[in-house]
Amino acid sequence: MSEMQTKYWHVDNRVDVLKTYPQVKEAADLLKKNEVVAFPTETVYGLGGNALSDEAAAKIFAAKGRPADNPLIIHLASKQQAADVAVNISETAEKLMQAFWPGPLTIILAKQPNKLSDIVTAGLETVAVRMPDHPVALAVIQAAGLPIAAPSANRSGKPSPTSAKHVQDDLDGRIAGIVDGGETGVGVESTVVDCTGEIPVILRPGGITKEEIEAAVGETAIDAALTDTQKQPKSPGMKYTHYAPDAPVYLMEGSKEWIQSQVNRERQQGKKVGLLTTEENLSFYEADVILPCGSRKDLKTVAHSLYDVLRAFNETDVDIIYSETFSTEGVGLAIMNRLEKAAGHRWIRETSK
């Protein structure tokens, strides 16, 4: 696609009346003209476009290089807005909105007929909606007065962006503007829950855990595609391998001593090895590049840093990246899901201990 001038606005998210901020109004005006604009949410930066417009939706897919059979999540500025884009909102869905909106939870509902762009919903009869918990995101959506379709603001296949610089690295010259509202908080995308059936089903793990959802609404299932790579996932952003840095990633399941032996073997063959570890194990290893990704004592810190660390490997000249693995309890499920996608499901396991 041809290069365009990408505008860049810095917005202090502590300002009281953000939606009247000149930069926010300018970004919203571009959205009203069916241009696409990146802005921060509490999870990652989103690439926003008018969800009612085929033109805007096509620009999102073109900028990202995203496959057209991958639906987009619609971002709303209020709980009430859900009724503008969805029908048959169940009591379970209402409870989830009450408990977790604004916040990193996307809910799949039956869509309003003949309203949304079919490109946004990938021709499905359902729509994925969420209300982000970020003052800048909410201000931009309110100022635009539109439901905003917004996948992560990165080139398809790359790690999702947690800072405006990440967005600029991937999309400068491909989109109309970037609203810089600082670093994001959660660090991994929202949890996606299908509420079109009797029991809610988690299609993508994220910032809200299965345990938290069950505490709010009772029994909750997990989509079989999350554990069976032969099944096609139904969630936005889950169908293709992505989150990947340039060098191949391998998930290492075994002791620290065994992982170090694998690093040594590759280095003896002349390869430069990168290692993704945690603060607790940082001093144990020797490799060409070692990057810590939060603390095992608090997996939320790992989620927060994950994409930043995966991107940081691109600033190095490593040939291969080995990653430690994590428990799938709580937010660990989301961390391991993203690492599996980044690695293309490549594991190396210690066979004897």
In Å, the largest CA–CA distance within the chain is 62
Per the annotation, binding residues are 43, 66, 70, 75, 126, 130, 150, 152, 160, 190, 204, 243
Per the annotation, binding residues for L-threonine are 43, 75, 130, 150, 190
Per the annotation, binding residues for ATP are 66, 70, 126, 152, 160, 204, 243
Tokens 């807005």 belong to 81
Contacts of 165 (CB under 8 A, 6+ apart): none
Nearest-5° Cα angle at 78, 75 to 82: 65
The closest of 346, 276, 266 to 305, measured between CA atoms, is: 276
